[in-house]
């Protein structure tokens, strides 16, 4: 009987072993299938992310082709083929925008001009495309083109557009020619793309490239990016390698799951073997109770047992430890994924905005949504003098920025100390990045209250805030401001939230510097740096709308040319510095007289242009000219000296004085010289007949 029972138990044990073997094989096959599916999905996402990265990095090239392809001066170049104008105009454009190459074609496909910053194009680089059919293929359906080509500079990305007059921004008329800009993909550029993509990028020698994970490193994704030529066929191929930690984590978790399953099978087999012993029931109840209640303390009494039950108890204890470790890893993985999503969201916001206030405002809204706190604010103060631009925005239950803690006098001094970096290192409320955190109930942030931390906590508690984070916005060792979140509830700020806020602060700082640089470049391109007035390049942009409005309303537009009398003598006697300050003071007086719709332009030297739209008659323009002359007669205080200057003004009215910008400027200049001939310190109005005196 005993032998029969043992045989049956052995048969049952063998059946259980075979069953668990089949289950493990099935689980391993399922794990590999899921890993392959996850790898393919990550590969598609990595390829799409790389394409988006390349598009964002070279988007300025499309903007450059768009901005300069509807321009009357470029249309005129197609008629005159004045290469000196093209060299003087397009070479600075290439430098300012960061492009490397430029081509201009007429509608017959003939290359008229080619420019390169390095000067290595040569004769072979003049004709970029093999035939006119290539241009027809590129622009047959669209006004813009994008392709790659090999030039003497190397592999080059090309963005092109059809050329149209300035007023034809919609490009509805027939093309006058074709404007192409190029960016050379040299080793430095490809290295930069690899750094942004978080991997490596190399040029492919042939069409064979791995498009799957690496056998030694399953988290490594490799795929090939094709760079199309003008006819759609690949010009070059890039081998892209990037790390995807999700695959490795999945495989590791699957292996741990299989290991846990194996341990469970071993424990069950041990239980079956020990069932034939006299001391079977009591240890089995302890093990069952521990597994049923998910509490390892029940099997703790079996750890000192020298029989098989002691080993089973140890295995179960390790099982619980490994499961807890796996749960902690899952929590960290979810936090990392959340941080990545937040980073992508803020990167999208930073790339979408080109103006400062909308950028900062949307950052504050997203910070409030991400942290879940009732108040979120951003304080900015930057510029060469540290105070040129100040912005404070607040969002939450109390949108008014006055409700933010930093707006209160009790906390304002601490905020200034954080942004200045004056708080001592090692304070319990400071993170390694210099952020100040006050979170009385949080378990994973510093709990030891030092003197400084206690001071901050006490001040915030008095204002009703239980959770506060003050994160400095620093870029390149330069502090631009502060991110602030606050809530009246406890336990709102964990360490991973603070880490994410510090990463967001870095993204915001980079975006702020980019927007500030773009605004500064735009101002420098269209304004005179000495006086701050619009420069000669803005004349057409201000006159054309005014002339169009005058035609619709049957009104006049007055164009005045103003020249300061005897200004050269001031430069010769007192120096150019005094002359510059005199020009600044004169421009301020002129601007103070004009309306908001009027425009004062510095043409160069001591010559100014004043544009007066919506003028009923020449008398209105004469009144403005009289006011300008009157204000210029008043003495100027320059370097403790009293200087006196006068002005000579020539006036031309649209449409009587000319129907084009060049005609108006020319006739106003003639009238100005008539005023100088009449003794200066006066004005004259141009007429089609004889000169008209005031």
Write out pLDDT tens, residues 191-204: 888 887 777 888 87
CATH architecture for residues 536-685? 2-Layer Sandwich (3.30)
| CA gap 606, 628 in Å, rounded | 15
pLDDT digit string, tens, across residues 610-657: 999 999 888 999 999 999 999 999 999 888 888 889 999 999 999 888
| CA gap 187, 197 in Å, rounded | 15
Domain boundaries, the chain: 59-185, 353-516, 536-685
Q: What is the CATH number of domain 59-185?
A: 3.30.450.20
- Residue 426: count other Cβ atoms within 10 Å of its Cβ: 8
| CA gap 419, 437 in Å, rounded | 14
Looking only at Cα atoms, what is the longest distance across the chain?
A: 139
The pLDDT-based confidence of 444 (bands split at 50, 70, 90) is very low
The domain defined by 353-516 folds into Beta-Lactamase (3.30.450)
Query: Which phi and psi angles does 326 have, rounded to 5°?
Result: -65, -40
Contact 452, 436 (CB under 8 A): no
The pLDDT-based confidence of 432 (bands split at 50, 70, 90) is low
DSSP E strands: which ranges in 101-219? 101-106, 111-116, 144-151, 154-163, 177-184, 199-203
Query: Which phi and psi angles does 534 have, rounded to 5°?
Result: -55, 145
Sequence-ordered list of residues with C-beta below 8 angstroms from that of 451, at least 6 positions apart, any chain: none
Contact 653, 561 (CB under 8 A): no
SS3 category, 317: helix
Distance of alpha carbon 371 from the chain centroid: 22
Q: How far is CA 251 from CA 36, 134, 219, 227, in A?
A: 10, 50, 9, 34
Beta strands 683-685 and 647-654, pairing class = parallel
Please, which residues bridge with residue 459 across strands?
none
| CA gap 49, 574 in Å, rounded | 61
What per-residue confidence (pLDDT) applies to 647? 93
Region 4-20: mean pLDDT is 63
Looking at the whole model, is its pTM more than 0.85? no
In this structure, is the dihedral angle defined by the CA atoms of residues 4, 7, 11 and 13, taken in order, positive or negative? positive
**Start-to-end Cα distance in the chain:** 136
pLDDT digit string, tens, across residues 304-349: 666 666 777 777 777 777 877 888 788 777 767 777 787 788 888 8
- Residue 259: count other Cβ atoms within 10 Å of its Cβ: 13
320-329, Cβ contacts within 8 angstroms, sequence gap of 24 or more: 320/296, 322/256, 322/259, 322/260, 323/260, 326/253, 326/256, 329/249, 329/253
What per-residue confidence (pLDDT) applies to 436? 66
What per-residue confidence (pLDDT) applies to 256? 67
Region 116-131: mean pLDDT is 63
Query: Which of 71-80, 556-565, 628-637 is the least confident region?
Result: 71-80
**353-516 and 536-685 agree in CATH topology:** no
Does 691 score more than 70 pLDDT?
Answer: no
Contact 472, 435 (CB under 8 A): yes
Region 214-221: mean pLDDT is 59
Does 451 score more than 50 pLDDT?
Answer: no
Query: Which phi and psi angles does 248 have, rounded to 5°?
Result: -65, -40
């Amino acid at each position: 009987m005993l032998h029969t029972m043992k045989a049956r138990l052995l048969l049952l044990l063998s059946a259980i072993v075979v069953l668990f073997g089949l289950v493990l094989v099935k689980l391993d096959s399922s794990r590999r299938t899921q890993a392959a599916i996850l790898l393919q999905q990550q590969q598609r996402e990595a390829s799409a992310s790389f394409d988006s990265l390349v598009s964002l990095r070279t988007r300025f090239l499309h903007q450059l082709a768009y901005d300069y392809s509807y321009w009357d001066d470029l249309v005129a170049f197609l008629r005159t083929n004045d290469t000196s104008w093209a060299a003087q105009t397009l070479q600075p454009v290439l430098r300012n925008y960061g492009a490397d190459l430029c081509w201009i074609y007429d509608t017959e496909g003939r290359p008229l001009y080619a420019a390169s910053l390095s000067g290595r194009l040569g004769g072979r680089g003049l004709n970029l495309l093999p035939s006119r059919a290539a241009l027809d293929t590129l622009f047959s359906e669209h006004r813009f083109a994008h392709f790659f080509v090999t030039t003497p500079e190397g592999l080059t990305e090309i963005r092109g557009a059809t050329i149209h007059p300035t007023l034809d921004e919609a490009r509805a008329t027939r093309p006058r020619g074709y404007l192409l800009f190029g960016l050379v993909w040299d080793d430095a550029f490809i290295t930069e793309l690899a750094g942004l993509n978080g991997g490596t990028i190399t040029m492919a020698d042939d069409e064979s490239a791995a498009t799957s994970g690496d056998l030694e490193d399953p988290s490594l994704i490799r795929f090939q990016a094709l760079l199309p030529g003008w006819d759609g066929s690949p010009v070059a191929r890039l081998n892209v390698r990037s790390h995807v930690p999700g695959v490795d984590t999945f495989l590791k978790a699957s292996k741990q799951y299989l290991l846990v399953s194996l341990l469970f099978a071993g424990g069950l087999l041990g239980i079956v073997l020990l069932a034939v012993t006299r001391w079977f029931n009591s240890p089995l109840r302890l093990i069952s109770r521990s597994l049923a209640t998910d509490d390892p303390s029940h099997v703790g009494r079996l750890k000192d047992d020298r029989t098989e039950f002691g080993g089973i108890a140890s295995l179960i204890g390790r099982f619980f430890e490994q499961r807890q470790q796996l749960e902690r890893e899952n929590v960290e993985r979810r936090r990392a994924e959340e941080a990545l999503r937040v980073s992508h969201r803020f990167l999208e916001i930073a790339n979408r905005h080109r103006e400062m206030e909308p950028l900062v405002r949307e950052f504050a809204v997203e910070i409030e949504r991400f942290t879940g706190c009732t108040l979120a604010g951003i304080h900015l103060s930057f510029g060469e003098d540290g105070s040129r631009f100040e912005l404070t925005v607040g969002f939450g239950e109390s949108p008014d920025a006055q409700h933010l803690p930093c707006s209160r006098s009790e906390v304002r001094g601490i905020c200034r100390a954080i942004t200045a970096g004056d708080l001592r290192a090692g304070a319990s409320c400071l993170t390694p990045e210099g952020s100040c955190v006050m979170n009385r109930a949080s378990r994973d942030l510093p709990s030891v209250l030092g003197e400084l931390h206690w001071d901050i906590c006490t001040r915030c508690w008095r204002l009703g805030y239980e959770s506060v984070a003050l994160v400095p916005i620093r870029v390149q060792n330069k502090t631009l401001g502060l991110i602030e979140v606050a809530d009246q509830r406890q336990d709102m700020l964990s360490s991973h939230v603070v880490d994410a806020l510090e990463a967001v602060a870095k993204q915001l700082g980079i975006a702020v510097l980019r927007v500030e640089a773009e605004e500064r470049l735009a101002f420098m391109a269209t304004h005179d740096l000495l006086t701050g007035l619009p420069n000669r390049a803005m004349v057409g942009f201000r006159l054309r709308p005014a002339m169009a409005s005058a035609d619709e309303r049957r009104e006049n537009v007055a164009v005045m040319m103003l020249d300061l009398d005897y200004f050269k003598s001031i430069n010769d006697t007192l120096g150019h510095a005094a002359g510059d300050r005199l020009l600044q003071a004169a421009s301020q007086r002129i601007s103070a007289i004009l309306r908001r719709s009027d425009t004062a332009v510095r043409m160069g030297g001591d010559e100014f242009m004043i544009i007066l739209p919506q003028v009923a008659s020449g008398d209105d323009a004469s009144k403005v000219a009289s006011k300008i002359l009157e204000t210029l007669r008043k003495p100027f205080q320059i370097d403790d000296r009293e200087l006196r200057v006068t002005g000579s003004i020539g006036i031309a009215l649209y449409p009587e004085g000319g129907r084009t910008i060049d005609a108006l400027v020319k006739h106003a200049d003639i009238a100005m010289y008539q005023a100088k001939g009449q003794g200066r310190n006066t004005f004259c109005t141009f007429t089609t007949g004889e000169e008209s005196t005031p």
